[in-house]
Amino acid sequence: MVVSVLYASAAQAVTVDLITNGDFETGDLTGWNSTSTALADDFQINNGRFNPRGPTRRVDPISGNYDVMNEQTGYGISTLTQFFTVPDQVISASFNFTYQLVNHYVLGFDDPNQQFRVSLIDDAGAVISQIFSTQPGDASVQGATPLSYDLTSYLQAGVGSTLGIQFDVETSYYYMNASLDDIAMMVETPATVPLPASVWMMLAGLGLFAALGWSRKVRNGADIANCDGPVAA
């Protein structure tokens, strides 16, 4: 019983970030894959000196020394993706990112033709859930906005599998630029923490004590068994 209690107390949870280089402070796209279609272009590292094509001017990184920004010369989709392996056990999962954007289309956002969106995808690229998207009527200029989403149920359903986070900027009418930074998938998962040496010594002592007690019990039983019965008067 003591051993089981001590083992239970040694089982703790750790929180790990499944995203690599989510702050882009490597100064490159390590861990990420960027693609584009038609006249859109890939996401680019921005250190404050990146000047995207179109009417958007240079902007400082959202935080730190670097973030990323898409660009285009016309219609198309710019995509930024990273895949990760879900742990075998998931207690909780929180997805966080910060974005800022400017949409130069005079009529604003359109679903889905003039839109910024974020999705959880499977290993084949199919959308499991659209986590976030701009909507008609949203402000065309949005400053740095941190967002956080509870994805526990999705990652618990996908334990041990490969999933991905995908950012899309789709422009069908006019220029739109989105910046991204501080991307993280924080997952809490069980972890067995090694017991301190002092605890193992205590357990060893308890085992020795139990062994001695059993030995004495056996010995006493043998003594009783070997005793002569009562002598008749």
Which residue ranges make up each domain of the chain?
A: 13-192, 194-224
Q: Indicate whether 6 pLDDT > 60.
A: no
pLDDT for res 171: 98
At 177-212, the pLDDT tens digits run 999 999 999 999 998 655 556 555 665 666 544 444
Do the Cβ atoms of 91 and 189 come closer than 8 Å?
A: yes
Contacts of 46 (CB under 8 A, 6+ apart): 59, 61, 66, 67, 68, 69, 179
CA distances from 26 to 23, 30, 97, 196 (A): 8, 7, 17, 37
Cα separations in angstroms, 52 against 56, 67, 145, 196: 7, 13, 21, 56
What residues are paired with 12 via a beta bridge? 191
Compute the mean pLDDT over every residue in the chain, rounded to the nearest whole number: 87
SS3 130: strand
Considering the entire predicted model, what is its pTM?
A: 0.80
Looking at per-residue pLDDT, the higher value among 174 and 3 belongs to 174
Q: Which CATH number fits domain 13-192: 3.40.50.300, 3.30.70.120, 1.20.120.80, 2.60.120.260?
A: 2.60.120.260
- Assess whether pLDDT exceeds 70 at residue 19: yes
Question: Residue 80: what pLDDT?
Answer: 99
Q: Is the pLDDT of residue 62 over 90?
A: yes
| Residue 72 scores a pLDDT above 90 | yes
Average pLDDT over residues 53-66: 96
pLDDT confidence band for 12 (50 / 70 / 90): confident
pLDDT class for 112, splitting at 50, 70, 90?
Answer: very high
pLDDT band at 110 (very low <50, low <70, confident <90, very high): very high
Residue 157 confidence (pLDDT) above 90: yes
CB 149 within 8 A of CB 131: yes
